Structure 1
Amino acid sequence: MSEQLNGKTIAILATDGFEQVELTEPMKALKDAGAEVHVVSPKSGSIQGFNHFDKGDAVPVDKTLSETDPSIYQGLVLPGGAHNPDALRIDDDALAFVRAFFDAGKPVAAICHAPWILIDAGVVEGRRLTSYKTIRTDLRNAGAEVVDEEVVTDQGLVSSRDPDDLPAFRAKMIEEFAEGRHAEQAEAAQEAPRPVAH
């Protein structure tokens, strides 16, 4: 597994309030598999992690959204935590960054509350995925098929429910990132209606 992602650059999109292990564990797994990983955020400097309700560690930001371009990445990770995706889902630059991966058919991995971002990016309609239990109604209302499984894959979109699912999430994420572009994902994204900008 140590060379599966050699030569690939992966983005982790997050801001303050991310669930710490949902960023740090996927990042470590990606690096262990040979990927270069950039933490991308709307803000520069560092972003604050949380362990549920308790403040965790700050993580350095490698690139701000204004400093980078989704075209240089071969995959995207969206960590959860309640505050992090709630902030990103109303950030038009963050939503455009996420949509670009779907438009290009590039694999995306989202865990816990992170599918909230996908709703506002307009990319969940007709997709099969899972999430933290409190946002499943939101996903259904946005047209997704929601299931209660530790990891779900649908045309390059990997999703999991919570930190307990991280082992399965990490393994499937690396498998999908190694596989690369999914033409079906790009086709589905092109046909999806676009949300109105905030």
Structure 2
Amino acid sequence: MATELAGKKIAFLAAEGVEQVELTEPWKAVEQAGGTPELLSVEDGEVQAFNHLDKADTFKVDKIVSDASAADYDGLVLPGGVANPDFLRTDEDAVAFVRAFFEQAKPVGVICHGPWTLVEADVLKGRTITSWPSLRTDIENAGGTWVDEEVHVDNGLTSSRNPDDLPAFCAKIVEEFAEGKHAEQAASV
């Protein structure tokens, strides 16, 4: 097992409708690098994952986001799925939790539809990010620049477009989580 994330705890924030592979593959990458992933959600119990529009597995929630603090984590992963970020962006505690990672200059990984939560957290002004193509207008309206790339990093914010990008995304989030804080990230919030 690799050890680049030894001693690091990584929050995975997800709600019903999370794209299963966008949760499980980054989770495995964090574990394989020696990190400790923890699943947070807006409610206790389980999160229903999906394979696109079909129900997949459920995953036990480790902690509800209203009881969590970004200060207790070394990084954050926001998986996609169409419904997942839509639920998260309507929850004040989830939005505040996400914003706190930027205020504390901690690395964040986001994929597919996940950036909708970043739009709501108002952390995209002046940043360049990639996502599922339908989010382009939302990202640009939030002050960000959208690019069509497999993986893009902007001061600790790692983004990817879709499940096909997971190998590159997983490698890059491990690298960014190992690197740690990014002073420029907090300066731009």
Consecutive unaligned residues of structure 2, counting only runs of 5 or more, are none
1:141 Cα deviation (Å)? Answer: 1.3
Structure 2 residue 44 is the aligned partner of structure 1 residue 44: yes
Does the CA contact (< 8 Å) of 2:43 and 2:64 recur in 1?
Answer: yes
**Residue equivalent to 1:194:** none
Alignment of 1:171 with 2:182, yes or no, is: no
Tell me the residue number matched to 2:118: 118
Indicate the residue corresponding to 2:25 in structure 1.
Answer: 25
Structure 2 match to 1:130 = 130
Q: Aligned to 2:57, what secondary structure does the other structure show? A: strand
Structure 2 counterpart of 1:71: 71
**In the alignment, residue 42 of structure 1 is paired with which amino acid?**
V
| Uncovered stretches (5+) of structure 1, i.e. residues with no partner | 190-198
Contact 2:3 2:34 in 1 (8 A): yes
Matched, 1:186 2:186: yes
Write the deviation string for residues 9-61 of structure 1: whole angstroms up to 9, x where unpaired: 00000011000000011001101100011100011111000000110000110
Pairwise CA distance, 1:143: 1.0
SS at match of 1:186: helix
Alignment partner, residue 109 of structure 2? 109
Q: Distance in 2 between matches of 1:45 and 1:104?
A: 28
- The one-letter amino acid of 2:71's match is S
1:57 partner SS: strand
Distance in 2, matches of 1:2 and 1:87, equals: 34
Percent sequence identity is: 58
Q: How much has 1:70 moved relative to structure 2?
A: 1.2
For 1:133, give the aligned amino acid: P
Structure 1: 4+ residue segments shifted above 6 A = none
- The number of residue pairs the alignment matches comes to 189
* Contact 2:66/2:94, CA 8 A, preserved across alignment: no
Hey, what's the Cα distance between the residues in 1 that align with 2:153 and 2:178? 14
Q: CA deviation at 1:67?
A: 2.6
Q: Calculate the aligned-residue CA RMSD, in Å.
A: 0.8
| In structure 2, distance between residues paired with 1:149 and 1:68 | 32
CA positional deviation for 1:66: 2.5
Aligned amino acid, residue 171 of structure 1: A
TM superposition shift of 1:68:
2.0
**C-alpha distance in 1 between matches for 2:141 and 2:161:** 18
